[in-house]
Copies of this chain bind each other. A is one copy, B any other.
Amino acid sequence: MQGEELDTPSMGGVLDTEFDLTRGSKKELAAAVDAMLESCQESIVDGGAISFPSRSEVAELLEDLRNLIYPGFFGERDSDPGDFADYVRDKTLQVFNKLSVQVSLSVRHGCIESGELCNQCRKLGQAQATRFLQKIPALRKVLMGDVKAAFDRDPAARSLEEIVLSYPGVLAVTIYRLSHELWLQEVPFIPRMMTEYAHSITSIDIHPGATIGSNFFIDHGTGVVIGETTEIGDNVTLYQGVTLGGYGFRRAPDGSLERGYKRHPTIQDGVIIYAGATILGGDTVVGAGSVVGGSVWLTHSVPPKAVVMIKEPDLKYKVGY
């Protein structure tokens, strides 16, 4: 592009024309645009033009799914039973359409380079979306158990409705449970995009690959990290700042990271883990019914029905400064 081209109509439409650039400024800007154009020939990924699922579409899909899981709580609602049936039907088909397109984009067959999804990709997207929808009714039952667990375990909760409307832990777990099903279906990208969307609005970071049992409750939740290969039983409670993480890395002889092996702990049924506790390592098991106190740092296993607390650390006092 030459500086002169900035005067062409198409440029004028984009440039803010209320104030004129000097001739020198125009040349400088034109050179900057050229440099950008050259730079953008190089991409973070190989292979030229590419296509990916859209973050905003994935976020909208999650809104639609929440409307189906908790009807009446998010946005649209209708009191007429016939209208309600229409609403559920339409919403379900919207989810089907959006999800099948996003799955097709995530697969990224060669067809994408031609700018259009091929029939094979579209079929795969639709099959995955149908399979996913089939699981939602069962998921709804599990999520109702999570909501009730929140009410039973938080003395600040006034009602089940308050929990659905405002608890970030329930929101993060709802999105995790949806994403985990897509993870099991081996859909690329989208499961992680879903849990990172949840992370961005709740500060709770659950990897879609983690396995989590029923009646799960995270209170407050800011800073919680649950790694990819974590296994959590039924009736478990976590508070803010709990890390269930990896400990040390395995490397292949060539120095590259090993991936996929179990690196994160196992938390058995009925465990309670208080704020800021850190539990690390793929061999670490917290036995059923145990309680891990706030700020505990654990890299080894704990037997069932144990209570593990930090020894209250020595403090230095100075009074009457």
Contacts and interface: CB of A to CB of B under 8 A. Distances in A.
Copies in the complex: 3
A155 to B, nearest CB: 5
B276 A305 contact: no
A71 B40 contact: yes
Contacts of A240: 205, 223, 225, 243
A265 interface: no
A4 to B, nearest CB: 14
Interface in A24-41: 25, 28-29, 31-33, 35-40
A54 B156 CA distance: 21
A90 interface: yes
Task: Using C-beta atoms within 8 Å of the partner chain, give the interface range for chain A.
Answer: 35 or more
A90 to B, nearest CB: 6
B278 A306 contact: no
A275 B52 contact: no
Query: 3 tightest CB-CB pairs across the interface, nearest first?
Result: A39-B137, A49-B79, A79-B115
Interface of A: 1, 11, 14-16, 19, 21, 25, 28-29, 31-33, 35-40, 42-45, 48-56, 68, 70-75, 77-81, 84-85, 88-90, 92-94, 96-97, 100-101, 112-115, 119, 122-123, 126-127, 130, 133-134, 136-137, 140, 144, 147, 152-158, 160-162, 164-168, 188-189, 192-193, 196, 199-203, 205, 207, 209, 220, 222-223, 225, 227-228, 240-241, 243, 245-246, 249-250, 256-260, 263, 275-276, 278, 280, 294-299, 302-303, 305-321
